[in-house]
Amino acid sequence: MKVLLTGGAGFIGSHVVDGYLAEGLEVVVVDDLSRGARENVSPRARFYQADIRDQAALQAVFEAEKPELINHHAAQIDVRRAVKEPIFDAECNIFGSIHLLELAVAYKVQRFIYASTGGAIYGEPKVLPASEETPVLPITPYGISKHTVEHYLYLYSILYGLPYVVLRYGNVYGPRQSSKGEAGVVAIFCEQMLQGIIPTIYGDGSKTRDYVEVSDVVQANVNALSLGEGEIFNISSGIRTTDYGIFTAVREALDIPSFEPRYAPKRPGEVDHIGLDVSKAHARLAWQPQVELREGVKRTAEWFKKRLQEQ
């Protein structure tokens, strides 16, 4: 089976590429390299540098490759930029996705796997953990744009019979994560501590997030190749961790003498608390997280230490 994977040079997408190659799939990667890196892409995958907002460029890839499956990870993921530039966010996340959906129908794609967000889509839920049935009330344009595409997927399944699966990720972390921009607090803390920079926590350190290691996310994408058609799944650990808890986990993983972070005001668009109920994924996607936070942070820290030594 041939899969076209958008955003395949990015942190999560490149790991999914590796996972699909390990499953024996033929993988075609589309990425504009605005955040990803060409070296992240396995030489066993074919690579096209293209922006998903460019429908002509996408169509050329589809015409050349005729993929049977789409895995859509390409996105504008910076919450702060989404707040400042909501039109840009919508162009990338909504219009770019519609281009893919149109081509999926035209080229009779058999399945569309979509990487959505569980961390930003629910806003501030009144009850935690949030299940897939929790009201969707995002407080950032990023959450709105990612959720909008879920509606389009449902629409295209009704109008054209396009099979799809939606994976709503928690806060994904792991090797290859970028420390640039807003995303990736584990990566940011690792890189800063290794450089002797005291990390900044936005807020008082008590905000909670639900973290999931990237290898667990890869397994969810593998399972979604054959399970969960027409369904939405939360993909995370199901365990809430404070910002300060992440800070201490990274500090311990790097074996750095005890010190305290700096604090700054909370940023617009950030939720205070989010945790995800992953029982549906366990029951219907045959998936559950395997990597405990301390082990996952240790793996990530080791990757950053090795990269620093190689520079």
For 240-289, how does the pLDDT look when each residue is reduced to its tens digit (9 = 90+)?
A: 999 999 999 999 999 999 999 999 998 887 889 999 999 999 999 999 99
Name the average pLDDT for the chain: 96
Q: The CATH number of the domain where 30 resides is what?
A: 3.40.50.720
Given pLDDT bands bounded at 50, 70 and 90, which one contains residue 133?
very high
Looking at the fold, whether 228 and 98 belong to one and the same domain comes out as yes
Cα torsion for 255, 196, 241, 293, to the nearest 10°? -40
The pLDDT assigned to 183 comes to 62
Looking at the fold, whether 203 and 160 belong to one and the same domain comes out as no
Looking at the fold, whether 204 and 105 belong to one and the same domain comes out as no
Looking at the fold, whether 139 and 274 belong to one and the same domain comes out as no
DSSP-derived 3-state class of residue 189: helix
Which range marks the domain in which residue 199 is found?
176-209+239-310
Element (H, E) at 216: helix 214-223
Q: Which residues are catalytic?
A: 142
**DSSP assignments along 127-146, one per residue:** SSSB-TTS----SSHHHHHH
DSSP-derived 3-state class of residue 166: strand
Last residue of a domain, one of 194, 220, 235: 235
The pLDDT assigned to 182 comes to 53
Question: What is the number of domains present in the chain?
Answer: 2
Looking at the fold, whether 126 and 193 belong to one and the same domain comes out as no
Q: The CATH number of the domain where 197 resides is what?
A: 3.90.25.10
Last residue of a domain, one of 199, 220, 235: 235
Given pLDDT bands bounded at 50, 70 and 90, which one contains residue 184?
confident
Looking at the fold, whether 121 and 231 belong to one and the same domain comes out as yes
Looking at the fold, whether 188 and 248 belong to one and the same domain comes out as yes
- CA nearest 220: which of 113, 72, 60, 99? 113
The pLDDT > 70 percentage for the chain reads: 99
pLDDT above 60: residue 181: no
Looking at the fold, whether 88 and 103 belong to one and the same domain comes out as yes
